[in-house]
Amino acid sequence: MSPKEAPRAEEKRAKIVTAATTLFSRYGFKRTSIDQLAAEAGVAKPTVYAYFKDKDAVFEAVVVAVCEDLIARAEAASRGRGSIEERLSAMLAAKFTRYWELVQRSPHAQELLDSQNRLGTETIARADKAFVRLLATTIEVSSEVDPARAGLTALGLAQLLIRAASGAAYDATTVAAHRKHLGELVRLLMLGLQQGSPRSR
């Protein structure tokens, strides 16, 4: 492949992965066919096989792409200009709300989770570690919050936020509701940890 052809090839591959992300969420892993993937991506069926040996390989690529996107969104949120509460809420939404939207809200959630456990465990574990480190670093460099007031380290608070965020899906029926739940959870956890709050004087 020539240097000129490489960008086009990457673009086609990305189109297939994007199409697969949509179709797996909509129809589940089993009901999504290579024919559907080709049609959704606007490419010929042989083109799909030129990039992926089978549907399992497509799913693995989707897991990688989704994880990379979640981390990129979280990194962007960590550099935002808002308060630490706003930035942490946005970071958690970048991961948990997006994941809920793609997987947990799907009518095929259990099947997607089973496929994820079969094909994407290592990728997800690496992304989870990167996300925890990013949260902890964001907390650590902030002058607005003091985890030690609750006997926590920055890493400990990051892990606590992740555990709390896992429950944001409870009773959520829309993306907006899920984001609202996350914001409320972060606000509650931040109340007693902010520098200069009455309890720290």
Domain locations in the chain as residue ranges: 5-192
Reduced DSSP (H G I as helix, E B as strand, rest coil) percent helix, strand, coil of the chain, to 5:
75, 0, 20
> How much is the pLDDT for 125?
95
pLDDT tens digits, 140-167:
999 999 999 889 999 999 999 999 999 9
3-class DSSP state for residue 178?
helix
pLDDT tens digits, 54-101:
999 999 999 999 999 999 999 999 999 899 999 999 999 999 999 998
Query: pTM for the whole thing?
Result: 0.85
Rounded CA separation 106/28 (Å): 8
| Per-residue pLDDT at 190 exceeds 80 | yes
Q: Please, which pLDDT band fits residue 199 given cuts at 50, 70 and 90?
A: very low
End-to-end CA distance of the chain: 65
Instruction: Compute the mean pLDDT over every residue in the chain, rounded to the nearest whole number.
Output: 91
Q: Which CATH architecture has domain 5-192?
A: Orthogonal Bundle (1.10)
| Per-residue pLDDT at 138 exceeds 80 | yes
